């Protein structure tokens, strides 16, 4: 059924919906909520906590006041109940001052934060009229949430006509799953927490089952690869050539890679592990084996500076073993690029390292049989494909992807279902764990004194801010403002640098290079340095407004320091809470990822779920559902009486993941 059958959707909004892939009423009803606003529980004001959603009820102490500040309209008031009072702030909502008056009893919801003076407040609270669970959606710009919710309500009246059942009755009976239409009604307009739980379970089970069914269809269609025989002696020769002995995890993962590459089916493996666990050495071991077998390999990094760093490492590890390595970057001069392209196409370079330039037109490889991408989350699956397509005609390369973002195995299998997963869950000996401390605003002066002491001893510091520029709507330090403040104040005696995401590429590279070679004592930055260069002399990481980051991102940032035996520190500028205390208690990235998933839920942990696949945000963190759906698919395949049910599940999987299957890969 077409969207135009719903009253209230005009041509401009139809175009906006189409842009998001929503073209039918079915599409609309399968846009799953990103979360729920729970106004069923009223929190006393004295129990309100920063960063924790709450619903409060009380009386306004005074009339709201509206004024302009730095181009923004700001309306302020105060709400009180029997336990206390809390300031309220609305940005660019001047009509609030006309709608509310002193003495009005109101119910408000929102997530409290602290202003620049450290006082608790409720920013941009929403006025509630009833206590219930309300679905929230991540919407296309130009579509108000209230309007979208009205469309959903109207579409639910047509649910039976446009949303057929996708799971067979025998399967639903065996696993205790509700009907799909009951599920969708409760997902969008839950009657209670219990009916929502039943609906979420059904939706998550369905999505995970269909995803695995699609993967089974995909994996049955693999192409052909060159078997690369790497005998044990070759692997041993590589490890013995290094100045350190490999960890047990490194040798285990390399053995998994070696066995994959011996097959004529293309390897598709992800190696994930903490910064410093030795993933790069594993990659070079695979490249060495590939070169010894007479083939070429390519390693793609997300930034030029990281690509240069990999080349330096490759020259130290591989060139003494007779392996020729070279670099291809987008910013090369014409003559330099011509020489690089010739070295690649003629096979002079057995190992090619670069950025996205490796994918560009005119790059021809000489027997490319192994493709490695660093920092998997910075590359889409289709970029991996494009590099793979440059291999020998008709023969697919083996693919290895590396990620320094540890995630629980159950989630990894869902996110990267087209890849086998290897975890390097052991750090080399001699690495000193980073000491992590929460630092309240009152101790800032002491922190700056510590940074100056470190600089005097030749060590360097990162200071990371959540924002590039000042924002009245978000109380958080910006990189630009803090840099200016420190240059003229507490750290004026030190050499400071500034870098952020939308800085020009040349300026960013120059700044990072200056920090890398020790010309800068303190680098003020945004999360652009999350994936960065190895700076062994950086021993201090300061993270401003640490509450604005997820635990896994904080851990990733912390990994920028502690790169050697020197004692290193990470200081979290924030008030203590459960999340930040969890980070202080361990340096194990997998444990932190598990805790992050538990505290925030997979939806926030992964970022925005795409249309039609949002139920992955409902996935059980402990992996029990993963095991259940795997067992379910096995039962459908092996029981002759379930042949018709298996056909329905496969047809549903093809429908849900049609685009991905057509592109021959999933992500």
Please count the other Cβ atoms lying within 10 Å of the Cβ belonging to residue 564. 15
Question: Would you state the structure tokens that stand for residue 68, as one six-digit string?
Answer: 């302009």
Position 613 scores a pLDDT of 42
Position 412 scores a pLDDT of 63
Q: What pLDDT band is residue 610 in, cutting at 50, 70 and 90?
A: very low
**8 A C-beta contact, residue 247 and residue 427:** yes
Position 391 scores a pLDDT of 63
Is 640 a residue whose pLDDT tops 80?
yes
Q: For residue range 295-327, list pLDDT tens digits in order.
A: 999 999 887 888 888 999 999 999 999 999 999
Q: What pLDDT band is residue 653 in, cutting at 50, 70 and 90?
A: confident
Is 489 in a helix, a strand, or coil? coil
What is the percent of the chain with per-residue pLDDT over 90, rounded to a whole number? Answer: 39
Is 609 a residue whose pLDDT tops 50?
no
Mean pLDDT across 244-249: 90
Please list, in sequence order, all residues whose beta carbon lies within 8 angstroms of the beta carbon of residue 112, skipping any fewer than 6 positions away.
48, 49, 50, 51, 52, 54, 86, 120, 121, 122, 123
Question: Would you state the structure tokens that stand for residue 426, as one six-digit string?
Answer: 């052991």
Q: What pLDDT band is residue 576 in, cutting at 50, 70 and 90?
A: confident
* C-alpha to C-alpha distance for 285 and 257, rounded to whole angstroms: 10
Q: For residue range 544-573, list pLDDT tens digits in order.
A: 988 888 787 888 888 888 876 788 999 999
Q: For residue range 352-388, list pLDDT tens digits in order.
A: 999 888 888 888 888 889 999 886 544 445 555 666 6
Question: Would you state the structure tokens that stand for residue 448, as one six-digit string?
Answer: 């700056």
Position 601 scores a pLDDT of 53
Is 178 a residue whose pLDDT tops 50?
yes
* C-alpha to C-alpha distance for 234 and 114, rounded to whole angstroms: 59
Type and span of the H or E element at 275:
none
Q: What is the DSSP letter of 478?
A: B
| Least confident among 188-202, 337-351, 508-522, 651-665 | 651-665
Q: What is the DSSP letter of 267?
A: P
Mean pLDDT across 111-121: 86
* C-alpha to C-alpha distance for 152 and 25, rounded to whole angstroms: 9
Q: For residue range 254-298, list pLDDT tens digits in order.
A: 999 999 999 988 888 888 887 778 889 999 999 999 999 999 999
* C-alpha to C-alpha distance for 406 and 556, rounded to whole angstroms: 9
What is the residue whose two structure tokens read 């919906």? 17
Question: Would you state the structure tokens that stand for residue 104, as one six-digit string?
Answer: 């009005």
Mean pLDDT across 649-654: 89
How far, in whole angstroms, is CA 304 from its chain's centroid? Answer: 21
If you average pLDDT over every residue of the chain, what do you get? Answer: 84
Please list, in sequence order, all residues whose beta carbon lies within 8 angstroms of the beta carbon of residue 269, skipping any fewer than 6 positions away.
256, 257, 260, 399, 400, 401, 419, 420, 421, 422
Position 100 scores a pLDDT of 93
Is 250 a residue whose pLDDT tops 90?
yes
Closest C-alpha to 542, from 564, 573, 575, 568: 573
Instruction: Give the Cα-Cα-Cα angle 199, 204, 209 (nearest 5 degrees).
Output: 130
Is 457 a residue whose pLDDT tops 50?
yes
Is 53 a residue whose pLDDT tops 80?
yes
Is 536 a residue whose pLDDT tops 50?
yes
Closest C-alpha to 275, from 81, 506, 475, 536: 536
Position 232 scores a pLDDT of 86
Position 30 scores a pLDDT of 87
Position 473 scores a pLDDT of 41
Q: Domains of the chain (ranges plus CATH)? A: 3-35+133-163 (no CATH), 41-128 (2.40.50.140), 232-262+277-403 (3.40.50.300), 435-586 (3.40.50.300)
Q: For residue range 330-353, list pLDDT tens digits in order.
A: 888 999 999 999 999 999 999 999
Q: What pLDDT band is residue 416 in, cutting at 50, 70 and 90?
A: low
Closest C-alpha to 58, from 133, 134, 132, 127: 127
Q: Which residues are 622's β-sheet partners?
A: none
Position 618 scores a pLDDT of 43
Position 428 scores a pLDDT of 78
Position 320 scores a pLDDT of 93
Residue with the larger pLDDT of the pair 384 and 465: 465
Please list, in sequence order, all residues whose beta carbon lies within 8 angstroms of the beta carbon of residue 358, skipping any fewer than 6 positions away.
298, 300, 328, 352, 387, 390
Closest C-alpha to 358, from 333, 326, 334: 326
Residue with the larger pLDDT of the pair 4 and 312: 312
Mean pLDDT across 1-23: 82
* C-alpha to C-alpha distance for 162 and 49, rounded to whole angstroms: 44
Task: Using CB atoms within 10 Å of the CB of residue 124, give its burial: 0 to 12 exposed, 13 to 18 middle, 19+ buried.
Answer: middle
What is the percent of the chain with per-residue pLDDT over 70, rounded to a whole number? Answer: 86
Angle between helices 279-292 and 232-241 (to 10 degrees): 130
Mean pLDDT across 204-213: 85
Mean pLDDT across 419-445: 83
Mean pLDDT across 493-507: 85
**8 A C-beta contact, residue 611 and residue 137:** no
Q: What pLDDT band is residue 246 in, cutting at 50, 70 and 90?
A: very high
Residues in the chain: 667
pTM beyond 0.85: the answer is no
Question: Would you state the structure tokens that stand for residue 19, as one six-digit string?
Answer: 């842009």
């Amino acid at each position: 059924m077409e969207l135009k059958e719903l009253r209230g959707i005009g041509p401009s909004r139809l175009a906006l919906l189409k842009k998001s892939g929503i073209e039918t009423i079915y599409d609309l009803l399968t846009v799953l909520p990103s979360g729920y606003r729970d106004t069923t529980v009223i929190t006393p004001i004295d129990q309100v906590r920063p960063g924790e959603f709450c619903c409060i009820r009380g009386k306004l102490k005074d009339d709201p006041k509206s004024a302009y500040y730095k181009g923004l309209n700001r309306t302020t008031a105060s709400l009180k109940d029997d336990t206390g009072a809390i300031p309220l702030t609305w940005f660019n909502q001047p009509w609030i001052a006309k709608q509310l008056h002193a003495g009005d009893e109101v119910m408000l919801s929102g997530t409290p934060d602290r202003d620049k003076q450290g006082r608790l407040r409720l920013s941009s609270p929403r006025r509630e009229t009833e206590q219930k669970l309300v679905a929230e959606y991540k919407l296309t710009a130009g579509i108000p949430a209230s309007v979208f919710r009205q469309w959903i309500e109207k579409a639910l009246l047509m649910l039976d006509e446009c949303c057929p059942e996708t799971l067979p009755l025998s399967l639903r009976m065996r696993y205790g799953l509700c009907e799909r239409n009951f599920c969708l009604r409760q997902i969008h307009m839950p009657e209670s927490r219990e009916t929502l739980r039943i609906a979420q379970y059904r939706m998550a089970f369905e999505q995970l089952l269909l995803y695995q069914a699609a993967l089974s269809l995909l994996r049955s269609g693999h192409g052909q690869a060159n078997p690369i025989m790497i005998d044990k002696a070759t692997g041993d020769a590589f490890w013995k050539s290094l100045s350190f002995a490999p960890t047990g995890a490194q040798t285990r993962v390399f053995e998994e890679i070696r066995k994959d590459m011996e097959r004529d089916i293309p390897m598709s493996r992800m190696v994930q592990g903490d910064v410093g666990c030795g993933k790069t050495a594993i990659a070079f071991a695979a490249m060495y084996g590939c070169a010894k077998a007479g083939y070429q390999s390519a390693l793609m990094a997300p930034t030029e500076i990281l690509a240069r760093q990999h080349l330096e490492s490759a020259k130290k590890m591989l060139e003494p073993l007779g392996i020729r390595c070279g670099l291809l970057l987008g910013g090369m001069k014409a003559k330099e690029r011509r020489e690089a392209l010739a070295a690649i196409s003629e096979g002079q370079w057995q190992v090619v390292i670069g950025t996205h330039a490796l994918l560009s037109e005119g790059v021809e490889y000489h027997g490319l049989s192994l493709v490695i991408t660093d920092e998997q989350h910075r590359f889409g699956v289709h970029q991996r494909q494009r590099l793979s397509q440059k291999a020998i005609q008709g023969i697919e390369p083996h693919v290895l992807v590396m990620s320094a973002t540890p995630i629980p195995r159950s989630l990894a299998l869902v996110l990267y279902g087209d890849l086998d997963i290897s975890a390097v869950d052991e750090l080399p000996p001699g690495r000193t764990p980073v000491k992590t401390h929460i630092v309240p605003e009152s101790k800032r002066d002491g922190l700056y004194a510590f940074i100056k002491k470190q600089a005097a001893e030749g060590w360097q510091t990162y200071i990371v801010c959540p924002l590039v520029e000042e924002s009245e709507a978000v109380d958080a330090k910006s990189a630009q403002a803090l840099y200016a403040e420190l240059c003229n104040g507490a750290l004026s005696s030190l050499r400071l640098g500034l870098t952020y995401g939308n800085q020009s590429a040349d300026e960013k590279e120059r700044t990072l290079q200056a920090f890398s070679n020790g010309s800068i004592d303190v680098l003020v930055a945004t999360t652009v340095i999350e994936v960065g260069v190895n700076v062994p002399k950086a021993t201090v990481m300061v993270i401003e407004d640490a509450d604005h980051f997820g635990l896994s991102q904080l851990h990733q940032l912390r990994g920028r320091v502690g790169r050697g035996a020197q004692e290193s520190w990470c200081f979290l500028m924030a008030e203590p809470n459960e999340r930040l205390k969890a980070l202080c208690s361990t340096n194990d990235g997998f444990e932190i990822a598990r805790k992050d998933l538990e505290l925030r839920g997979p939806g926030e942990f992964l970022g925005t779920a795409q249309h039609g696949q949002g139920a992955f945000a409902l996935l059980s963190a402990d992996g029990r559902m993963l095991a259940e759906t795997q067992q379910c698919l096995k039962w459908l395949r092996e029981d002759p009486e379930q042949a018709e049910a298996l056909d329905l599940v496969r047809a549903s999987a093809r429908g849900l993941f049609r685009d991905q299957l057509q592109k021959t890969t999933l992500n």
